[in-house]
Amino acid sequence: MTQDEIIKMAWDSGAYTHRITTWGFSLENLERFAAAIAAEEREACAKVCEAQDEYGWQQYADAIRARGEA
């Protein structure tokens, strides 16, 4: 994930800035931001599995994605 992608997710989650380098989150927005980061990371990991040419890759990709459904 790039810094720009992370900043966009923070804004999309409802973050606000006090100054140029200081970010603020309500608890609800912080939870939303953490969930967005986790979902992005799960998807990246699942895509690594899918890029493999080995038996079982789809099973691993599906298991990684399913972690977000719990």
Predicted structure pTM score = 0.72
Across all residues in the chain, what is the average pLDDT? Answer: 86
Look up residue 29 and give its two tokens: 């927005």
- Residue 39 pLDDT > 90, yes or no? yes
pLDDT at 23: 77
Q: Please check whether residue 14 is in contact with residue 29, taking contact to mean a CB–CB distance below 8 angstroms.
A: yes
Amino acid at 26: S
